[in-house]
Amino acid sequence: MSSLVLAVKILLEQTLSIIVCPLCRSELKLDVRKWKKEHIWIGTLICKKCRNSYPIIKGIPNLKPLNIEKTLMGNEYTRVEKYYDHYTSVHDLNYHNPELYYMRRVEDRVILSTKPKGVVVDIGCGTGRQTILLASMNCKVYAVDISRKMLEILRRRVYNLELQDNIEFIQASADYLPFQREVFERAYSIFGAFNHAPNYKEGFNRLGEILRKGGKTVISVLNQYRLTWWLYSIVTFKTRWVKKALKSKQTYLRHKAGRRKYRAWTHLYTPKEIKQLLKTAGFEKVHIGSILIFFKPEFRYNPQTELKGVKSLLGKIEDRVRWIPPFNGLGTYLVVLAQK
């Protein structure tokens, strides 16, 4: 057996020892149909217990919960996937501005504070900012996203950076993480993946289960009590939005591409709720902070990436009060650092 074939076989065994059926969480067996160089390009993963099958398409296994998609709530999974598939065309442009670059720097600092190591998972990896950061630190990263197009963009970037040996790509939803128990040292979910998980309680329980004892997680999610959004709504006399936000945590993100409109089911969290979810999931230490407390995020291109003037001052103030009540519960996003 050649060294290349042996290496591929070892890698396959390592991956199959970690991933499971997203529904019954039983072992999967592999049926390979086509190879592309040393990678499985087309094939099927079959659950040994419930016999559900999950296709491998262009090298990426689709481990979304197929039976769930047939239910009424399953339509929301499809909508979220389509929303982000079509958002890929403007993703990097819309995120290129001072406000979101500030947010990314804050998230990076929190991630680095966990001292990433070993086998980690990036849930809702998008086009891969955190995945690439973690892989460049020599972590073995499982990059998970519900959008196949996001994963394909990330894969191209990874190969250009020659980091492919450190990353596995998996299409899945945050609330049905298809992994064995206690296999990860760290778990990261940045920029709201758990906002789009209809069965989010199950998602947090699985998050706790897949981490080893002492493992850490960093999560950022949209906050129900967003100070700047409320003030903006009051100043612009759009008080219906405030009333609606207070009445229900369920809403939709909306995106228009050409003449078509897309929406993604979204659950807004409160600090109390997310702390309780993590405690129930087995996390002993939970610290909650806020990002973008005093100014709103912008989702449009700006050639500049540094905060200027008043926003620069507000950013410095935010850095000092981020983890201090009541400011830690008033940001557009909640950032959560937790440990089992």
pLDDT tens track for 220-271: 999 998 888 777 777 776 767 667 767 789 989 998 877 889 999 999 999 9
- pLDDT of res. 54: 95
Are residue 211 and residue 137 in the same domain, yes or no?
yes
- pLDDT of res. 2: 45
Residues 333, 316: Cα–Cα separation, whole Å? 17
**Residue that has been written with the tokens 């909640």 in this structure:** 334
Q: What is the pTM of this model?
A: 0.93
Start-end of H helices in 51-147: 74-87, 91-94, 98-113, 129-136
Q: Which of 22, 38, 58 is the last residue of a domain?
A: 58
Are residue 22 and residue 130 in the same domain, yes or no?
no
- Contact, 229 vs 332, CB < 8 A? yes
Number of domains in the chain: 2
For 249-304, the DSSP string reads SEEEEEEEETTEEEEEEEE-B-HHHHHHHHHHTT-SEEEEEEESSSS----S--S-
- pLDDT of res. 265: 94
Are residue 7 and residue 101 in the same domain, yes or no?
no
Are residue 39 and residue 90 in the same domain, yes or no?
no
The gap between the terminal CA atoms of the chain, to the nearest Å, is 42
- pLDDT of res. 72: 55
Residues 324, 321: Cα–Cα separation, whole Å? 5
Q: What are the tens digits of pLDDT across the range 62-114?
A: 999 877 656 656 788 999 999 999 999 889 899 999 999 999 999 999 999 99
Helix axis angle, 239-247 to 227-235, nearest 10°: 140
Q: Which of 58, 84, 107 is the last residue of a domain?
A: 58
- CATH value at residue 212: 3.40.50.150
Are residue 153 and residue 239 in the same domain, yes or no?
yes
Are residue 13 and residue 88 in the same domain, yes or no?
no
Give the pLDDT mean for 291-313.
Answer: 95
Q: Quick one: what percent of the chain has pLDDT higher than 70? A: 90
**Residue that has been written with the tokens 């979204």 in this structure:** 266
Are residue 148 and residue 211 in the same domain, yes or no?
yes
pLDDT at 276 over 80: yes
Give the pLDDT mean for 199-211.
Answer: 97
Are residue 319 and residue 179 in the same domain, yes or no?
yes
Nearest alpha carbon to residue 159 among 64, 36, 61, 62:
36
- Contact, 318 vs 293, CB < 8 A? yes
- Peptide bond preceding 326: is omega within 30 degrees of 0, i.e. cis? yes
Are residue 75 and residue 53 in the same domain, yes or no?
no
Domain residues for the domain of 145 are 64-339
Are residue 68 and residue 48 in the same domain, yes or no?
no
Q: Which of 58, 83, 105 is the last residue of a domain?
A: 58
Are residue 145 and residue 14 in the same domain, yes or no?
no
Are residue 27 and residue 96 in the same domain, yes or no?
no
